Amino acid sequence: MNLDYDYVIIGSGFGGSVSALRLSEKGYKVLVIEKGKWFKSEDFPKNNWNIKKWIWEPKLRLQGFFKMTFLNHVTVLSGVGVGGGSLTYANTLPVPKKEFFNSGSWSKLNNWEELLTPFYETGYKMLGANVNPTLFSADLTLQDIAKEIGKEAHFEATKVAVYFGEAGKKVEDPYFNGKGPDRTGCTHCGACMTGCRFNAKNTLDKNYLYLAQQLGAKILAEKEVVNVTFLGNEDGSDGYKISFKSSLGTKENGSVTAKGVIFSGGVLGTVPLLLALKEKSLPNLSDMVGCNIRTNNESLLVVTSTEKNPKDYSKGLAIGSILHTDENSHLEPVRYGEGSSFFKILTMPIIHSKFILIRVFGVLGLALKQPIRLFKTIFAKNYAKRTTVLLFMQTLDSTLQLKLGNITKMKTKREKGEKATAFIPEALDFGKKFGKKVKGIPFANITDAILGTPTTAHILGGAVMGENELTGVIDKNCCIFGYKNMMVCDGSIISANPGVNPSLTITAISEYAMSVIPTNNN
């Protein structure tokens, strides 16, 4: 057949961007379809009160790059746009500990720790990883806590995808021998997660996607894939038709054909799409689609300083340091740039209890015990400059199942392990320690504090690896069971709990998957 493309990639996050470049290098004709928008440095908002430019909810005419999804067991923070999650993530690129490679449904399929080592290094190089050279107030406060608990040796600066150079100084491409775009030195403004307005953050549109376009890859933005059907043979060996619609609500529908399809829309894009396709056009997809969803066992606490003359906690990188609190747990201080206080209206003091009434009365008790501090927190001026978000993550495993909902688009169901919860005692303990340092009270998202459901920026799984279609959706090379030339390369392939920020791991596994695909000699 005369097909439009060799590969269509659905989504432009870490897996999709890696796939676009490596397939283009191998001589394949590639199209990337992304439901979000293109963003230049000047398109990003100055702070997160500009929700029209920050939040993605096109039905409400919000066309930003940050999305909040409320599910019955978890609230998910994710990115949308050309470059996917890299537009709004905190740049942090840790390698998981050994337990990650030796657990989960993928553990016996390869010696993953050894196999992926060179691909982690490739990811570091492509993403322009550097160790954060400067610690600021939030980092130094955490370092003090590390000293007090005898864990100073387990505190370190993060390795991040940021060009440092000379602050504010523009230079020619420092990474790809002049083939990449100009870059500008980081100003340590703390606004990484509301979009880098200073061209210092190494987002995917400045490396993988940028180089892929030079090799002929096409990127079709503001389009959402709604169907994938096979052409000819039912196993897809003759190719596929990929149908899409405008993601902004216009009547711009279309379709293309391709020999292969790679799903790279992230867990909240790929998994519901695969579930829908299994019902209507791709019935041979594994029944494991949507299973083994993980949340990194996270807790997000917000601590606002009520000191009379506080330090500036907004200065630095979004995440500039990490404390390995024990073999299973990690703590990172997170910051937003000056003026970004939107989350203030979505938080409340957190009281750990199984019973909602005790949590509510606990807040009332807190108001009686510490009324001045609570008042100063709620009505704090320069909120972002006073506030630190504490991200606590664990490798301890528990899973959910993601399903299509009747009322909502998606719903979750408990699967195995302990129920994911916002009430992690170790996290609250560190929140109180940090609060003592800055005269603050641990807050959390309202859904966390009232319902006990955690918030995560690292939703993973749903199309995990397995030995066959009974234990996974994809094989060890990320190829989908039941169909030819069909793959998944995004966070939904993560088949165990990394316990740390997963972007580098998604990059490394996708690099490996692309290395297995032969060069196009046609």
232-254 confidence digits (pLDDT tens): 999 999 999 999 999 998 888 99
Q: How many angstroms separate the CA atoms of 172 and 183, rounded? A: 6
Percent of the chain with pLDDT over 70: 100
User: pLDDT value at position 421?
Assistant: 83
Q: How many angstroms separate the CA atoms of 179 and 132, rounded? A: 25
User: Pairing relation of β-strands 299-304 and 387-394?
Assistant: antiparallel
Q: How many angstroms separate the CA atoms of 332 and 329, rounded? A: 10
| Residue whose C-alpha is closest to residue 211's, from 181, 253, 249 | 181
Averaged pLDDT for residues 436-457: 92
Label residue 519 by pLDDT band (50, 70, 90): very high
| β-sheet bridge partners, residue 246 | 223
- Would you say residue 292 has pLDDT above 80? yes
Q: How many angstroms separate the CA atoms of 62 and 55, rounded? A: 6
CB 227 within 8 A of CB 211: no
Q: How many degrees, rounded to 5, is the angle at CA 126 between CA 125 and CA 127?
A: 95
CB 93 within 8 A of CB 503: yes
332-345 confidence digits (pLDDT tens): 999 999 999 999 99
Using DSSP's 3-state secondary structure scheme, residue 303 falls into: strand
User: pLDDT value at position 313?
Assistant: 97
**Cα–Cα distances in angstroms (integers) from residue 188 to residues 47, 165, 202, in the given order:** 15, 12, 14
133-171 confidence digits (pLDDT tens): 999 999 999 999 999 999 999 999 999 999 999 999 999
CB 466 within 8 A of CB 292: no
Label residue 418 by pLDDT band (50, 70, 90): confident
Using DSSP's 3-state secondary structure scheme, residue 156 falls into: strand
Q: How many angstroms separate the CA atoms of 316 and 501, rounded? A: 18
Dig out the tokens for 16 from the structure.
Answer: 């999709």
* Mean pLDDT, the chain, integer: 95
Q: What is the dihedral of CA 445, 88, 505, 10, to 10 degrees?
A: 110
Q: What is the dihedral of CA 438, 444, 449, 455, to 10 degrees?
A: -150
347-402 confidence digits (pLDDT tens): 999 998 888 888 888 889 999 999 999 999 999 999 999 999 999 998 777 899 99
User: pLDDT value at position 114?
Assistant: 97
The one catalytic residue in 73, 324, 330, 458 is 458
Dig out the tokens for 324 from the structure.
Answer: 């390995």
Dig out the tokens for 199 from the structure.
Answer: 């061209």
| Residue whose C-alpha is closest to residue 322's, from 190, 145, 155, 503 | 155
Please give the backbone phi and psi of residue 187, each rounded to the nearest 5 degrees, phi first: -100, 0
Q: How many angstroms separate the CA atoms of 414 and 257, rounded? A: 38
User: pLDDT value at position 74?
Assistant: 92
Q: What is the dihedral of CA 469, 471, 476, 481, to 10 degrees?
A: 10
176-223 confidence digits (pLDDT tens): 999 999 999 999 999 999 999 999 999 999 999 999 999 999 999 999
Label residue 433 by pLDDT band (50, 70, 90): very high
167-178 confidence digits (pLDDT tens): 999 999 999 999
Averaged pLDDT for residues 409-438: 90
Averaged pLDDT for residues 454-483: 96
The tally of CA atoms less than 13 A away on the side-chain side of residue 41 is: 13
Domain-wise residue ranges, the chain:
133-195+296-398+414-458
User: pLDDT value at position 5?
Assistant: 98
pTM metric for this prediction: 0.96
Label residue 445 by pLDDT band (50, 70, 90): very high
Q: In this predicted model, which residue has the larger pLDDT, 521 or 149?
A: 149
User: pLDDT value at position 8?
Assistant: 98
Angle between helices 14-25 and 503-516 (to 10 degrees): 30
Per mean pLDDT, which range of 326-335, 419-428, 466-475 is the poorest? 419-428
| β-sheet bridge partners, residue 224 | 245
CB 75 within 8 A of CB 63: no
- Would you say residue 420 has pLDDT above 90? no
For the question of residue 458 being annotated catalytic, the response is yes
Dig out the tokens for 258 from the structure.
Answer: 């391709």
- Would you say residue 68 has pLDDT above 90? yes
User: Pairing relation of β-strands 75-79 and 455-456?
Assistant: parallel
Per mean pLDDT, which range of 9-18, 113-122, 409-418 is the poorest? 409-418
